[in-house]
Amino acid sequence: MEKLTHVESNDKVVAPEHLQASGDVLTVHEERDLKRGLSQRHVSMIALAGAIGTGLFLSLGGSISTGGPRGSLLGYLFIGLIVCAVQFALGEVSTLLPVTGSFVQHAEAITDPALGFALGWTIVYGTWLSIPSEISAICVLFGYWTDVNPSAWIMTFIVLTALVAYSKIRYFGEIEFVLAILKILLIVGIIFLGLITALGGVRGVERVGFRYWRDPGPFVPYIAEGSWGRFLGFWSVLINAVFSFSGIESIAMAAAEMKHPRAVIPKACKRVFARVALFYVLAVLVVGMIVPSNDPRLAEDSGTAATSPFVLATAAAGVKAIPHIVNAVVITSAWSSGNQALLSGSRVLYSLALKGQAPRLFLRTTRWGTPWAAVTTYVLSSFLAFMALSSSAITVFYWFVSLVGCGVLISWSCVLVNHIRLRMAFRVQGIDPHRLPWHNSWTPYSSAVALFFCIVILLTNGFAVFTKGNWSVSGFITAYLDIGLVAVVFLGWKLIKKTRWVHLADIPLEEILSAIEALPEEKVKQSPRPLRFISWLWD
C-alpha cells in the first residue's frame, strides 16, 4: 500500500508513488476514494463550532467560582496563547502534509509509527464514547422543557447523526456552518446584552461595572488560603479552559477532503484563533462583571440552561426568552460536537487502516467519498447513549469516558512534537524553512514553550485529588489514566513491531517540496459581496 510512513524493512520514510503527479502527500486510496467537498468557509466555521462548545455555555461559571473574574480572564488568555501555538504548529505541518487523520499520520511520518498508532487508537476510542455522551447530554437539555421519555430523543439524534455522517462531506460542512452561525449569534448577542446591563443601560437595573472585581475580589482562594490559594484557583481555571478549547486541534482531520488545503488551513488557523479568543475573553469578562464569584448558582450544574453562566449574567435584563434560547443553542452545540467527533474519529480510523494498523475493511467508501465502514462503527457506538437510562449503567459509562479525560492535552503535545521535529528536519537537511507552504519565523520557539506548559498542565491537571481530604479514585482516573493508556499502547506496539524513531534526515522533504512547487494551488475565491458583512468570520 502506497503511503507516507515508516517502512519497516529499511527504516526509511518514503513518499507515495504518485506524489510527483498530484503534488499532494496522499495515498492512492485517499486520492481515489475521498472527495474534496470542504471549502474555506466550511473549515473555518467547523473549527469555530468545535472550539465554542457546551463547555463555554454551561461550565464557564465553574471557572469564575474557583478562580474569580480576573483569575478566569487570565487563565483563558493564557490557554488561548497555547492554543495559538498549537494552531500555528498544526497549520505549518498540515499545509505540507494535508492528509486524512492530520497529526496522527504526521506522527507516523515525522516522529515514530508507534506514537501514531497509540494516539490514533486513543482518539478512536475516545470519539467512540464522546458521541453517546453528547447524545445523553441532549436528553438532559430537553428535560428543561419536557418530560417526554429520553429514549425518544436518543433515537432521534442517533438517526440525525447517522444521516449527517453518511452524507457527502459538503453537506456535513453546510450543517456545521449553520450551527456555528447560531453559536456565534448567541454569544455576540449575550455579550452585548451583558455589557449593556453591567454598564447601566437597562432601565431599573443598577450599574455594576467592575464592582465584583473589588468585592468579593478579583481572585478566589481554592483549596488553600492566601497567595497560594489564589494561584491554585488560577491553575484550576487553566485546566477547565483546556477542555473548553478542546476540538480546535481537529481542524485538519479531514484535510484530504478539503478544497485547496494549503490555502484554506493557514487562513483557518490564523483567523479562527482570533475569533475564538475574542469570544472567549469577552464572554469571561462579561460573566465576571455581572455575576459575583461567590454566587452559589455558579457552582451548581443542572446540565441545562437553568445554571448557565450566560443566563445568570443576563437575568437582570429581564428577557424571559434567554434561558430557552441558550438551551436550544446548547442542544445544537452538543449535536455539533457529536458530529465533529464522528468526523474526526472515522477519519482517524480510516487513516489507521491506510497504514495497516486497523482492518482494511475501514478503507471502504461510498461512491460520494464517505468512509462508510469507519462511520458505521461510530453509529453503532452511539447506541451506548441508552446506558443513560439506567443509573448503574450510566456510572459505568462515564468511567469509560473518564479513561480519555486528558486526551486533548496529549493531542496538543503530539501536534507540537511533530512540528518541532519537522523544523529540526529542515535544519538537519539544510533546507530553507521559507519553502514551507506556510511559514512563521517564531513558531519553533512558541511550539517549544507551549509543549512545556502542555506537559506541566497534563501532569498537574488532577492536583486537587492529592490535597488533604480531596482524594478521589474517579478524579485520579479522569486526570491520569489516559497517560498510562497511551504509554502502554505506544510501548506495546513499539516492542511488537520494533519501530524506531524516524530519522530526521530520512524524511523526504525535498521530494515533497518540489512536488508542491511544481503544482501550486489555485487561490481561494473570496465570498460574494452580499455576504461580506459576515464573511469576515471565515475569509
* Residue 529 located in a structural domain: no
Q: Is the pLDDT of residue 18 over 50?
A: no
The model's pLDDT over 131-180, given as tens digits with 9 standing for 90+, comes to 888 888 888 788 888 888 888 999 999 999 999 999 988 888 888 888 88
Strand partners, 254: 100
Buried b / exposed e over 31-67, threshold 16 CB at 10 Å, is eebbbbbbbbbbbbbbbbbbbbbbbbbbbbbbbbbbb
- For residue 82, the cross-strand partners are none
Note whether residue 537 is domain-resident: no
CA distances from 34 to 37, 43, 178, 423 (A): 9, 16, 24, 29
Distance of CA 471 to the CA centre of its chain: 29
- The set of cell numbers assigned to 72 is 478566569
* Cβ neighbour number for residue 368 with a 10 Å cutoff: 15
The number of folded domains in the chain is 1
Query: Which ranges in 291-321 belong to alpha helices (H)?
Result: 309-314
Residue 298 belongs to what domain range?
A: 23-519
Residue 162 near residue 255, CB atoms below 8 Å? no
Q: Supply the pLDDT for residue 166.
A: 94
Question: What letter represents residue 175's amino acid?
Answer: I
Q: How confident is the model at residue 303 (pLDDT cuts 50, 70, 90)?
A: low
d(CA 346, CA 444) in angstroms, rounded, equals: 31
pLDDT at 516 over 70: yes
Helix (H) or strand (E) holding 15, with range, is none
- H helices within 199-321, ranges in order? 211-214, 226-244, 261-290, 309-314
On the 0-12 / 13-18 / 19+ scale of CB atoms within 10 A, 398 is middle
Residue 527 in any domain: the answer is: no
Taking only the tens place, the pLDDT of each residue in 189-205 is 888 888 888 888 877 77
More confident position, 477 or 414: 414
Question: Does residue 338 belong to any structural domain of this protein?
Answer: yes
Residue 2 lies in a domain: no
Can you tell me the distance from the alpha carbon of 263 to that of 95, in angstroms, rounded to the nearest whole number? 8
Say which residue the cell 501514531 belongs to. Answer: 116
Phi then psi for residue 254, to 5 deg, are -110, 40
What is the distance between the alpha carbons of residues 126 and 403, in angstroms, rounded to a whole number? 8
CA dihedral 123, 125, 126, 131 (to 10 degrees): 120
Q: Indicate which CATH number applies to the domain containing 444.
A: 1.20.1740.10
- Position 429 scores a pLDDT of 94
183 domain residue, yes or no: yes
Q: What are phi and psi of 60, to 5 degrees?
A: -60, -35
CA-to-CA dists, residue 414 to 186, 402, 409, 454, 458, angstroms: 33, 20, 9, 10, 12
Alpha-carbon radius of gyration of the chain: 23
d(CA 268, CA 30): 22
pTM of the entire predicted model = 0.87
Classified as helix, coil or strand, 38 is strand
Cα 418 to Cα 94, 200, 461, distances in angstroms: 10, 50, 23
Q: How many helices (H) and strands (E) would you count in the chain?
A: 20, 2
109-133 pLDDT, tens digit per residue, is 899 999 999 999 988 988 888 888 8
10 Å CB burial of residue 146 (0-12, 13-18, 19+) is exposed
Structure confidence at residue 400 (pLDDT): 65
Most confident of 60-64, 342-346, 415-419: 415-419
* pLDDT at site 206: 80
**528 in a domain, yes or no?**
no
Nearest C-alpha neighbor of 222 from the set 239, 204, 240, 236: 236
Is residue 525 included in any domain, yes or no?
A: no
| Residue closest to 383 by CA, chosen among 210, 133, 138 | 133
Q: What is the 3-state composition of the chain as percent helix, strand, coil, each rounded to the nearest 5?
A: 70, 0, 25
Where is mean pLDDT largest: 40-44, 167-171, 198-202, 477-481?
167-171
List CB contacts of 122: < 8 A, sequence separation 6 or more: 404, 407, 410, 482, 485, 486, 489
Assess whether the previous peptide bond of 216 is cis (omega < 30° from 0).
yes
